[in-house]
Structure 1
Amino acid sequence: MSQAPRLHFAGTAALDRARALRPLIESEAEAGEALGRLTEPVVAALRDAGLFGVWVPVPLGGAELSPRELIAVFEELSYADPSTGWVVMASALESGAAGAYLGDDAVERIFQGGRMPIFAGQGTRPGTAVRKDGGFRLSGRWSFASGMPHAQYAHSLGAIEGTEETRIFITPIDDVTKLGNWDVLGLCATGSIDYAIDDVFVPESQTHAFDEDEPLRGGAIYRLGILDLALIGHSAWALGIGRRLLDELIRHVGARAGRPGQIAASDAFHSGFARAEAAYRAARALIHETWDDTERTLDAGRRLGVRQETMVRLALNHATSTVAEVARFVYTSGGTSALRDGLIQRLFRDAHAGAAHITSGPRFLQECGRELAGLAAGESWRIFELQPPETK
């Protein structure tokens, strides 16, 4: 019997490269906001630093970071600029899943010579796929394809006609019609445009089951499946923007300390800041506690139990809602400076845009509560909800 895969631990090299890019990312953030996408200097620097490949399996030339190593990288990038962190964590997830789950023919084409292409797409609302010899004909329209302006491949969810099966389809960007309708309140620089695919043939090797959790390449991290993998990136994003919000408020208040009538002298502000700092740190501790436990389970060759699946969902949901509350406190405390266009206002908008993601919504929270309260005996997680065992 073959030995269960272990986690791969890569160390801090990727984090060090991400940290070194902070001055560039920060300096380009305002321009990216205006463009509605990351600027070319930022994309080029991220690519040169290998950060689009942090989730790609080692056999394909990727870094294949462990969950907590990924959290550290995406937290750093999201601190520098939430849109940058969002694009990299979304694209890296999609390229990592492609590298782990696609067929050999597709992987040879896509990752030829160790290249790390940029992926973008959407994996929640499916298009339609019709089986054809050796593959599928895919059609549909998808929303919120973060990083699409920079992508070489699209990652799209499709439902197989006549069945209940859903799969992820990887198509070259030339097969995509970019709809370009990106006019949003927050995360403006993610370029998360809508896109369409019209009756495009996709070879079967360029697809994988949506709920695939047994990798063809790479180690134990890919046994999480694509949804649990996504929770890693979104958790890190919340931690990065939450810390930046609090740090910007510290700078804002400190620069005005000693002036008459400033908030720095307010006892109410002092208490409010203490509560906000405690809430953020508690949410961060829960993220690290749950993913530390997850790493130990995966590295021991085991799969997550139902309670562990609940906790990684709850930790993300709690962190995102906490950061939204922190954002409201920071925005209110910033006074007229936050009201005007600037970094605090942008962080406030980005925090609330990120909190609208499906993984941070009420459905997850309700299901977590049901399981924690002992009301889901015998049920297991299937993507977004708990379900009883399938009956034959």
Structure 2
Amino acid sequence: MTTAPWVHGCADDADLVVAAHELQPLLRQNSAANEAAGQLTDAVVDALHDKDLFGMWVPASLGGVELDPVSSLEVVQALSEADPSTGWVVTTASLATGTGGAYLGDVAVAEMFRGPRFPVVAGQGTRPGKAVRDGEGYRLSGAWSFASGIKHAQWIHTLGIVEESGEPLIFVLPVEKAELIDNWDVLGLKATGSIDYTIEDVYVPAAFTHSGPTETPVRGGPLFTLGIAHIALIGHSAWALGVSRRMLDELCALVRSKSGRPGTMAAHQGFQAIYGEAEARWHAARSFVYETWRGASETINSGATLSVEQKTLLRLALYNATWAAEAISVVVYRAGGTTALRSGVMQRYFRDMHAGTQHVTSAPGVIEACGRYLGGLAPAHDWLFMDLVPKAS
């Protein structure tokens, strides 16, 4: 088993939760600059490294924390409250970095995790390229989109289908082996730098690959029995909660700042009712997310695997949190008036929230599949990433 040759500053789950909150002032200060640059500023990236946040899901044997799901929710929510793009990049890059550490071969891990910082791994784990077997490895080609955080990465994590077997593999290779296409011209989440990239006939040794849907870690504890898909659900659930929480807080601050003036929203009962409903929706969404992840944590920590019902509820909780957050963002935008219209926090968060709803984890097919399973209409099915498929016989 490979061990990292350095000691990191964050020793346990509580340290990373504290670190995320400590970074909030810096992230708020850099949020507009991140967006203007189309990527996180050097100050933000350096601070994330200093706090070891890119290593939150890295196996302990490699110097990481293997952050538990509930603490992970707290970390990503705190980062996303301060800057949605930072929360998004940390989620996606930490996922690719940590699962690489858990599932790749020893040769790959020894090269990637050699300090002094954790590597940053980014890329696309859904739309696949194609791979052909070549000796002790594969030759990979393809075109991918939405590589969040790749401008800060040293390694690419990308999905390919092996032509001979149809097996879906994750391939990890140096960023310089790909052609990056700087085309991230979008409504929101501009600072994630989620650009496209292509790879043309690049050799990838087998040690730098692992099964895409694997839930069997080479190193690391119960966290990695969740597999890539379920760890991703943690981050995206917390992101939606963080963005919507900040929007509610911004609206509250705006209304209070005008309290006492004639005709302001602070004294308007209609607004008070709308705001109360938005708060209720946020707290309900948060409770659903945390309830399902506490139950999932108990299951994996006992050595068991998640049931199909648990997997369904985790996806349902994310879907609900995302669309509750979207509804809250609309309430805030309307109530914010010209303040929300102009350049600033409300406008930026509104745009970022609507960019986030386009992610595959919150697509219409997810809620349809959840309804099929929970309605008893798919009894012999299981989840493959975000698809409900018949169980293998």
Q: TM-score, normalised by structure 1?
A: 0.96
Residue aligning to 1:27: 29
Counterparts of 1:55 and 1:310 in 2: how far apart (Å)? 23
Correspondent of 2:347 among 345, 348, 351: 345
Match runs of 1:145-224 below 5 Å: 145-224=147-226
Residue aligning to 1:101: 103
Correspondent of 1:259 among 257, 261, 275: 261
Correspondent of 1:361 among 360, 363, 369: 363
Residue aligning to 1:88: 90
Deviation, 1:103, is: 0.5
Residue aligning to 1:117: 119
Deviation, 1:119, is: 1.1
Residue aligning to 1:335: 337
Q: Tell me whether 255-264 or 60-69 shows the greater mean CA deviation.
A: 255-264
Residue aligning to 1:274: 276
1:64 corresponds to 2:79: no
Q: Return the letter of the residue paired with 2:111.
A: R
Deviation, 1:113, is: 4.5
Deviation, 1:11, is: 3.1
Counterparts of 1:120 and 1:261 in 2: how far apart (Å)? 50
Counterparts of 2:38 and 2:274 in 1: how far apart (Å)? 34
Percent identity, please. 50
Deviation, 1:74, is: 0.7
Residue aligning to 1:247: 249
Counterparts of 1:321 and 1:109 in 2: how far apart (Å)? 41
Deviation, 1:361, is: 1.0
Q: Tell me whether 114-123 or 31-40 shows the greater mean CA deviation.
A: 114-123
Q: Return the letter of the residue paired with 2:29.
A: S
Query: Matched residue pairs, number?
Result: 383
1:16-39 Cα deviation digits (max 9, x unpaired): 111111111110110111111100
Aligned residues of 1:93 and 1:229 also touching (Cα < 8 A): yes
Correspondent of 2:302 among 296, 300, 303: 300
1:285-314 Cα deviation digits (max 9, x unpaired): 000000000010011000000100000000
Deviation, 1:114, is: 6.4
Counterparts of 1:358 and 1:89 in 2: how far apart (Å)? 15
Secondary structure of the equivalent of 2:12? coil
Aligned residues of 1:60 and 1:114 also touching (Cα < 8 A): no
Q: TM-score, normalised by structure 2?
A: 0.96
Aligned residues of 1:10 and 1:66 also touching (Cα < 8 A): no
Aligned residues of 1:380 and 1:389 also touching (Cα < 8 A): yes
Residue aligning to 2:129: 127
Secondary structure of the equivalent of 1:195? strand
Counterparts of 2:72 and 2:291 in 1: how far apart (Å)? 15
Q: Return the letter of the residue paired with 2:198.
A: A
Q: Return the letter of the residue paired with 1:189.
A: A
Counterparts of 2:117 and 2:42 in 1: how far apart (Å)? 18
Counterparts of 1:324 and 1:40 in 2: how far apart (Å)? 30
Counterparts of 2:343 and 2:116 in 1: how far apart (Å)? 42
Aligned residues of 1:168 and 1:208 also touching (Cα < 8 A): yes
Residue aligning to 1:5: none
Secondary structure of the equivalent of 2:226? helix
Counterparts of 2:378 and 2:190 in 1: how far apart (Å)? 39
CA RMSD of aligned residues (A): 1.1
Question: Which runs of no fewer than 5 residues in structure 2 stay unpaired?
Answer: 1-10
Aligned residues of 1:61 and 1:114 also touching (Cα < 8 A): no
Correspondent of 2:56 among 54, 57, 61: 54
Residue aligning to 2:8: none
Aligned residues of 2:13 and 2:65 also touching (Cα < 8 A): no
Residue aligning to 1:78: 80
Deviation, 1:163, is: 2.8
Secondary structure of the equivalent of 1:141? strand
Deviation, 1:10, is: 3.0
Q: 1:185 to 1:145 in 2, by over 3 A?
A: same
Residue aligning to 2:317: 315
